[in-house]
Amino acid sequence: SANPKPARVLVVPVDRRLPKIRVVTRQAPSIADQRIVVVIDDWPRDSAYPVGHYVKSLGPIGDADAETAAVLLEADVDDRPFAPAVHACVPPLPWRFEESEHLGPIPKLRREDHRSLRVCSVDPPGCRDIDDALSCRVIETLDGDSNAPKTFELGVHIADVTSFLKPNTAMDDEARRRGTTTYLVNKRLDMLPKPLTEDICSLRGGTERLTFSVFFKFDATTGLPVPDAQPRFTKAVIRSDAALTYQEAQTMMDDPDDVSDLAKDLRNINFCAKALRKRRVAAGALSLASPEVKFELDKSTSDPLDVGMYVTREANRMVEEMMLLANVASAEAILKAFPSQAMLRRHPAPAPRMFDPLLKSCAAAGVKMDVTSSKALADSLDAATRPDDAYFNTLLRIVATRCMSQAVYCVSGAAKGRGRSDSAPNGETSLSHYGLAAPLYTHFTSPIRRYADLAVHRQLVSALQFKSVEGASLERHSDENAFRRLELAKTAKHLNQRTRAAKLAQRRSVDLRLTRALCASPVTLPAVVRSVTRTGVSLFVPSFHTQVFARVVGGDGVVFLPRMGLGNERKEDDVFLTTRVLFDGGVKTLAFFARNKNGSGEEEERGPRLRSGARAWVRLSASGGETRAARVEAELLDASHPEARLGAAEAAAEVARRVEAMAIDDRPALEARVVTRGMAGAGVSDVTETEKDASPARGGGEEIES
């Protein structure tokens, strides 16, 4: 009828932890089989279910757009388009560099012209919001002595977004509200309008663009910064020579026949980056693991066609080190100028209890771990490395990553004191970054996608006194709140909330696509036993950076062995099977035992022993999703299972191929790669989250940040 009567219905939340909700609505016929939004109003004492009301429908269950909308709603991420007032703040296109407007008459005070400097950017394939680029040139000695030690001038060039983003405007207010760009598997939710991020500010090849640049002097012999040589910040204009992908940059560095100037620059930058990384690790910086799953999507349906892991190359680490270097230099500069008002990024040392999962996993696998400091932890992880078991090595570092506290934005004067922190007994202060072993740190290098970087840029402008002849700053901004401690503290708190929301949305987006892929096509993958109980095994699957639980005892109490063949032979009808948890050589182990049902014969061990830290094979599938969120299901396979044997052979062949292809002796070896059954080209490698890459599409957040 035109006016249907109100109906009482039970709606099922996507989150399996929540109960069903009773709703009274006239929309019952139209919302069946839809993803809907419901608000809980009450939970009467005498009711098994809470009571709520219907708000709106997101679309059919299983529809990619509807499921993505549910993910964003759960994470509290706004995907509404920018308002007309925001778009009105964007300069008209096409934007062109005008010398008369940007290059002043006095060399010391003007924006520097570096259009003749050889500059390139290095990013993931398809990246359009390019906010950083690099340069390297050899500085000649004043006396022309060819035998004198050479010096490199390394430049880190960052998009000068604040030259276009004025405070107290609709666009600045909206950027602050959003806080960060959110990267989902199938789309990107920008902090700023695309004309700004992909055109006006993007450091595209062959195009003149404004930058906020910082130059460092490096000893060409050691690859380390020249002692007492201070970083030099300047506003500049550049013309990037090339927008490279990581693979393209890696190929140029590896190719001995490539003697181009750009290839030489990349090799010099990489030489310095490796020296910087070695120094950081020696100081106690952690090299952990936070692999990212990447997807190849159907362009029309957004369904996953292929699932793999994001591969980290030496070129990634090169860019990462340069970004970390610039961020540390920025932190030191703004703290010196604003001792109580600097926008910083700190990473508190984890409380001792936070390491319990790592210590338990290590104890179960017979591994010793010292967590008294970041240096001790880094050394212990290195000492625990098994040369012949890359999956176990990855597991340890990922478990360690999950023990970390969360890095947060803070204001120097609002942090808990300037001295040593009670929670950091090993010398870290309340402003330190534990994971990077850095006394000070901030975010400067990604202003296109992080509002915190914009705040830092504005502080640097005032700290470094970039003034025009009239005495006004280049920005000409009047936002006094940017330097008020309380206002900055509120901004930092807000940005922490938005960063957490964006990361939650990113994780949920990956989970959604992964379960959809497994529903369509189960896969068999290698795993590492993390812990064992009498009823099942907790496993870590490096390929998908996920933890699963495989049961060996059914709901009816029946014990079944890991599957050995393609048939249904998991239980033995003529014997009673039981499980026991043993300590085999000090390692926690699950064993299977059998006794004849007629009571005759001795109890004997059956099947494989499952040792903590050991390799196992698991078949992953997914079920559900019609109402509740789909979840991954795991089934143990015996090493003799045909799929396991095939997977082992493919993994060994792929690792051998990669080792043989390594052209640089000291390049970090990739952990492994498995071409799985049922998914073309699904891959696995050890990928550390870096300053440059922390999203499926683009990146962000320094390594080990969680």
The band of 102, judged by pLDDT with boundaries at 50, 70 and 90, is low
Rounded CA separation 483/338 (Å)? 8
Range in 26-35, 515-524, 593-602 the model is least confident about: 593-602
- Give the pLDDT score at 649: 60
Range in 261-270, 420-429, 538-547 the model is least confident about: 420-429
Structure tokens at 235: 């506003």
- pLDDT, tens only, 249-308: 999 999 999 999 999 999 999 999 999 999 998 888 876 655 555 555 555 655 555 555
444, 542: one domain: no
Q: Tell me, what CATH number does 597's domain have?
A: 2.40.50.140
- Give the pLDDT score at 326: 97
Its pTM surpasses 0.95: no
Q: Which residue, among 636, 641, 634, has the nearest Cα to 590 in the 3D structure?
A: 636
- Give the pLDDT score at 364: 74
467, 533: one domain: no
Q: Is the pLDDT of residue 322 over 50?
A: yes
Rounded CA separation 537/551 (Å)? 6
- Give the pLDDT score at 224: 94
Give percent of the chain above pLDDT 90.
38
How would DSSP label each residue in 22-69? Answer: EEEES-HHHHTTEEEEEEEEE--TT-SS-EEEEEEEEEETT-HHHHHH
- pLDDT, tens only, 596-614: 766 666 778 888 888 888 8
- Between 104 and 558, name the one with better pLDDT: 558
Residues contacting residue 142 through CB under 8 Å, at least 6 positions apart: none
Q: Is the pLDDT of residue 696 over 50?
A: no
11, 52: one domain: yes
416, 445: one domain: yes
309, 193: one domain: yes
Q: Tell me, what CATH number does 22's domain have?
A: 2.40.50.700
- Give the pLDDT score at 302: 55
34, 91: one domain: no
In a domain? residue 497? yes
- pLDDT, tens only, 458-514: 999 988 875 432 333 334 344 454 457 788 899 999 999 999 999 999 988 888 888
502, 526: one domain: no
Q: What angle do CA 153, 273, 452 make, to 5 degrees?
A: 85
> What average pLDDT does the segment 102-124 reach?
79
Structural domain containing residue 629: 522-661
> What average pLDDT does the segment 110-138 reach?
93
Query: How many domains does the chain divide into?
Result: 3
201, 299: one domain: yes
Mean pLDDT (the chain) is 79
- pLDDT, tens only, 325-374: 999 999 999 999 888 889 999 998 888 888 888 888 787 778 888 888 88
Q: Is the pLDDT of residue 655 over 50?
A: no
98, 173: one domain: yes
In a domain? residue 179? yes
55, 95: one domain: no
- Three-state DSSP at 550 gives strand
> What average pLDDT does the segment 568-586 reach?
70
34, 175: one domain: no
- Give the pLDDT score at 290: 54
131, 196: one domain: yes
